[in-house]
Amino acid sequence: MSSILNNAAVAAVTRGQPSTYYLRDNRPNPVLQALDQELKLFAGYMKKRAAPGYTKPTDESHARPADTLFELWNKYEPRLPPHYYQEKLLEIGDYLVSINEYKLALWQCYERYLLTFGDVNVEEISDVDTFRNTFFPEGFDAENAGLTFRALMGKSISMYQVVKLSDPKLQNKQSIEKCVQILSFLRLVTQVVLPKETLCWLVYNGTVHIYSMSRHLMALGHSARVLEYLLWASMCMETSVPLLGVRYLKWRATLYTAVCQCYYDCKAGDQAEKFARRGLTKISELSHLEGMSSNKDTASTEVSFRTATVRMALMVFKRSVFETRRKPKGLLRPKTRANLKDALNLPWPRTPTEKLLADMFDGGSAQFLAILESLSDSNRRILQTSPPAPDNEPEILDVFLELIMAAQEILAGGAGNRVTGASKAQMVLGAAPLTTVIPRGSLMVMAARGEEGVPLDAVIQLLKLAYNYEHLDVFENLMEPVLGMIKECDEERYRWDVKALELLKAMGRMGSGRRAKKQQTVQEEEDSEKPAPPAASAAQTAAPQKSKGKEKAPVFIPAEPEESASLKSAISGDDLINVADVLMSIVAGPYKPDQIEIDIVVDATMFLWTKCKLVFQKYQTGSVDNPRFLQKMDNPTKNIWELPYTFDIPKDDEETDDEFIKPFTKKKATQGWMHLLDTVHQALGWCGLSSVDPALTAEVVLRLAMVYESSAQLDSTDGKGLETFLTQDFITPRS
């Protein structure tokens, strides 16, 4: 209401002749010319302002664009025909949206247009009758009906972008509810215009906006909230007759795929497969109708059908590859695993999974895409590794292993449509591990064409999935070839991928000890189930054995070691320092949290914090701690799980027989833990965790401050303190 009164007050004092005054002759209208000139100047200024590298002058107000546009509309609104003025209003609004000035477009263009219908909150409108009575009292045939729909769409998108700018990760509950309300309003708009075939462009635009907002929410774990809206968008594309053509088939397949992915995210794989098979039926019906028509088939038409079919087949394969191998729950069976070593010596297809791939997909690109889709799970985080299935489901574990084996064979060039004639798999015959990999390309486009190549970014995704499912042998075998190919490409877009792989490699070194310990535990359990061999003397043990009159070399049974070496290969301080160095290179590098896989950085930071917390909680017990606790902390360059917490680091002049401890004095030991804690602190602020969990950040800051304070006290009491770790953001004051 205040905006209406303000506009009316400004219009009352506006001077100048209206544009209709100059229509008496055929000369150009000076009012329209002046408006176009001022709008051109404003658009040029906004384009310059939105350009990268622009620096605002110090004497320029932040509100200059809003003030300029506000004064311009107030100046020309009473002098222009209403319809012409409204067209210019929305034209500038669309331009501002194109340069990402969503707030200005929302407040000075779309809302200003909708004020002609009164002070209405579109989020509160939930039924069709209220919508029509509010915005279309004269029906959809009114002169300004198209402009009104355009303004409503523009306002909805601008509102969503404003929410996204203020809360990119939608961490506040209010932001999520706001987005859901906008989705509901977009569904209402498309519901109103759906019966009007002449307004099919609005239906199409509405489905595009619903999809873009839903994908954002799906990426943040809110698939259950957006499923109904994606289903509605799919039904709109099927119901609107002008949108049933082959021209929009790719978009329909995109919506179908999004619905299936929502079902998979919600752990409703059966519903996803049913919907995907329904989509295949719809595509087949359209293909039949297209064959009956007089239109000639073109290359683009064939590509559209192939792309849509591949997308739906991916969603079917994602569940079928596992469900076809499950055994009935009531069937009693021993827990046996398939022996895949024998399958390695066979040509493609070797396993049931590879046979299903060969039956459903044509070409190595499509088969590799199906493997990636089957391995992907939005509910898993890359650094939070775990087996793909529990031990009581050996069939599912076999499927995951067969999928990764198939991916390796595709990369080696032994799968797809190639007929090599070899009696064994290519990776067994010694083929290069990345034979079919190309530097760049779209895997979906290549799959639709039936090609054999695999883009490099798809191989990087396979590496991350192999690490996540604890197939570290595959991860380590492909790591060096992939890094070598990335180095050969020398492209900017792979810069983050290199850093992410370095972080996974650093984290994998610490997981190798736990994996070795687990393997030894399993081996010990198997050995305990076997009957113990009879005791034999040393002489009997070394006695030569005879077989068929021939004397064999003596066989010595080695004594059981007291402690396996794998148990000692747990997490070491050097590995922790390596992870911290990679994290610091990310924080200090040219990376932005919203443009990378931030969950990798977050999980690595929290992993470091859990290790630091165990040490600092031992020595930092309160605000009156003795500052000499810095001299008693464990050595981070030694295995921190082998050393007792009461271990005293030797002084510089003391001798020790431990070659791992001797090079690291008490000063360097504390430097390592300070480096880790400082890295955690900087990473928390960089990735935004400080705003999500302020209590965690406060604890890190307090512990780091206590370390610096203790170091300063040692400086003042001993005359020299610890050579504390210096960073670009934190410098210990020296006395």
Instruction: Quote the CA–CA distance of 587 and 598 in Å, as a whole number.
Output: 11
Mean pLDDT of 86-100: 91
pLDDT of residue 561: 37
Given a cut of 60, whether residue 398 has pLDDT beyond it is yes
Given a cut of 50, whether residue 39 has pLDDT beyond it is yes
What's phi and psi for 636, nearest 5 deg?
A: -75, -10
Given a cut of 50, whether residue 731 has pLDDT beyond it is no
Asked which of 24-38, 510-524, 604-618 is least confident by mean pLDDT, the reply is 510-524
Of residues 28 and 650, more confidently modeled = 28
**pLDDT, mean over the chain:** 78
Mean pLDDT of 696-705: 85
**pLDDT, tens only, 465-476:** 999 999 988 999
Report how far apart, in Å, the C-alpha atoms of 8 and of each of 32, 93, 112 are. 22, 21, 12
Q: Report the topology of domain 2-54+63-265+273-285.
A: 1.25.40
Confidence of residue 30 (pLDDT cuts 50, 70, 90): confident
pLDDT of residue 197: 87
Contact 259, 231 (CB under 8 A): yes
Confidence of residue 62 (pLDDT cuts 50, 70, 90): confident
Instruction: Quote the CA–CA distance of 385 and 204 in Å, as a whole number.
Output: 41
Instruction: Quote the CA–CA distance of 431 and 452 in Å, as a whole number.
Output: 16
Mean pLDDT of 241-253: 92
Strand partners, 572: 639
* String of DSSP letters for 71-112: HHHHHHGGGS-HHHHHHHHHHHHHHHHHTT-HHHHIIIIIHH
**pLDDT, tens only, 572-584:** 667 888 888 999 9
Considering all CA atoms of the chain, what is the largest pairwise distance in Å, rounded to the nearest integer? 128
Given a cut of 80, whether residue 605 has pLDDT beyond it is yes
Angle between helices 456-468 and 472-489 (to 10 degrees): 150
Instruction: Quote the CA–CA distance of 18 and 449 in Å, as a whole number.
Output: 60
pLDDT of residue 689: 82
Residues 6+ apart with CB under 8 A from 468: 380, 381, 382, 383, 384, 385, 386
pLDDT of residue 659: 36
Contact 402, 353 (CB under 8 A): yes
Strand partners, 437: 454
Maximum mean pLDDT: which of 17-31, 384-398, 653-667, 712-726 = 384-398
Q: How do 437-438 and 454-455 pair as beta strands?
A: parallel
Confidence of residue 537 (pLDDT cuts 50, 70, 90): very low
Instruction: Quote the CA–CA distance of 631 and 670 in Å, as a whole number.
Output: 7
Given a cut of 90, whether residue 215 has pLDDT beyond it is yes
pLDDT of residue 728: 38
Report how far apart, in Å, the C-alpha atoms of 640 and of each of 504, 577, 634, 636, 660 are. 21, 12, 7, 6, 12
Contact 227, 259 (CB under 8 A): yes
Contact 597, 500 (CB under 8 A): yes
Given a cut of 80, whether residue 11 has pLDDT beyond it is no
* String of DSSP letters for 148-207: HHHHHHHHHHHHHHHHHHH-TT--SHHHHHHHHHHHHHHHHHHHHHTT-GGGHHHHHHHH
Residue 386 per-residue DSSP state: -
Report how far apart, in Å, the C-alpha atoms of 684 and of each of 279, 579, 671 are. 44, 15, 20
Confidence of residue 118 (pLDDT cuts 50, 70, 90): confident
Percentage of residues in the chain having pLDDT higher than 70: 73
Given a cut of 90, whether residue 702 has pLDDT beyond it is no
Given a cut of 50, whether residue 727 has pLDDT beyond it is no
Report the helix count and the strand count for the chain, using DSSP H and E. 27, 4
Token pair for 451: 């090609």
**pLDDT, tens only, 556-573:** 333 333 333 333 334 566
Given a cut of 70, whether residue 23 has pLDDT beyond it is no
Contact 416, 410 (CB under 8 A): yes
Contact 684, 691 (CB under 8 A): no
Of residues 542 and 453, more confidently modeled = 453
Cα angle vertex 694, ends 690, 698, to 5°? 100
Instruction: Quote the CA–CA distance of 254 and 211 in Å, as a whole number.
Output: 9
pLDDT of residue 418: 58
Given a cut of 80, whether residue 610 has pLDDT beyond it is yes
Confidence of residue 133 (pLDDT cuts 50, 70, 90): confident
What do you get for the CA distance between the two ends of the chain, in Å? 63
Mean pLDDT of 445-449: 91
**Side chain identity at 86, as an amino acid letter?**
Q
pLDDT of residue 697: 87
Given a cut of 70, whether residue 125 has pLDDT beyond it is yes
Instruction: Quote the CA–CA distance of 56 and 50 in Å, as a whole number.
Output: 11
Given a cut of 60, whether residue 301 has pLDDT beyond it is yes
Given a cut of 90, whether residue 188 has pLDDT beyond it is yes
Contact 645, 634 (CB under 8 A): yes
Given a cut of 50, whether residue 384 has pLDDT beyond it is yes
Instruction: Quote the CA–CA distance of 211 and 227 in Å, as a whole number.
Output: 10
**pLDDT, tens only, 363-379:** 899 999 999 999 999 88
Mean pLDDT of 313-336: 79
Maximum mean pLDDT: which of 118-122, 502-506, 663-667, 676-680 = 502-506
pLDDT of residue 207: 96
Place of tokens 């792309």: 307
Report how far apart, in Å, the C-alpha atoms of 162 and of each of 3, 58, 105, 154, 654 are. 20, 26, 10, 12, 63
Strand partners, 639: 572
Rg (CA), the chain: 34
Mean pLDDT of 326-339: 64
Confidence of residue 12 (pLDDT cuts 50, 70, 90): very low
Given a cut of 50, whether residue 10 has pLDDT beyond it is no
Given a cut of 50, whether residue 488 has pLDDT beyond it is yes
User: What are the residue ranges spanned by the domains of the chain?
Assistant: 2-54+63-265+273-285, 343-490, 567-718
Q: Which residues of 554-584 are buried (b: 16+ CB within 10 A; e: fewer)?
A: eeeeeeeeeebebeebbbbbebbbbbbebbb
pLDDT of residue 80: 84
Maximum mean pLDDT: which of 210-214, 380-384, 561-565, 685-689 = 210-214
Instruction: Quote the CA–CA distance of 303 and 247 in Å, as a whole number.
Output: 11
